[in-house]
């Protein structure tokens, strides 16, 4: 399976919980649409949060946490790629 091109991009809107948070990224798919989010929540959280912007069915999970941004992005990618090949 060919790896899908995904990019992390700073959000372009001010409708976030923490506008201007340097640790908040939209995940953009190959078609330029936002397909999810990777962020470090406020309040002194040590972990990074990731979430797909699609409905997933078990055994997939639509969100999770990881200790680093790179690990959160990798978990997002792995789940997204499994979602692409999982029949509904």
Identify whether 2 is part of a domain. Answer: no
Identify whether 40 is part of a domain. Answer: yes
Domain count, the chain: 1
Q: Evaluate if residue 1 carries a pLDDT over 70.
A: no
Q: What's the domain range around 36?
A: 7-85
SS3 category, 38: strand
Rg (CA), the chain: 13
Identify whether 76 is part of a domain. Answer: yes
Structure tokens at 53: 């912007």
Identify whether 12 is part of a domain. Answer: yes
Identify whether 50 is part of a domain. Answer: yes
pLDDT of residue 49: 94
pLDDT of residue 21: 74
Give 3: exposed, middle or buried? Use CB within 10 Å, 0-12, 13-18, 19+. exposed
pLDDT of residue 48: 95
**pTM for the predicted model, two decimal places:** 0.82
Identify whether 1 is part of a domain. Answer: no
In this structure, the chain runs to a length of 88
pLDDT tens sequence across 14-72: 666 556 678 889 999 888 899 999 999 877 788 999 999 988 788 888 999 999 999 99
């Amino acid at each position: 399976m060919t790896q899908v091109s995904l990019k992390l991009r700073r959000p372009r809107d001010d409708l976030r919980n923490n506008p201007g948070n340097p640790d908040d990224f939209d995940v953009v798919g190959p078609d330029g649409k936002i397909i999810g989010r990777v962020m470090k929540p406020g309040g002194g959280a040590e972990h990074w949060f990731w979430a797909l912007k699609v409905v997933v069915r078990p055994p997939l999970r639509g969100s999770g946490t990881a200790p680093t941004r790179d690990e959160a992005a990798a978990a997002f990618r792995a789940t997204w790629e499994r979602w692409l090949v999982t029949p509904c």
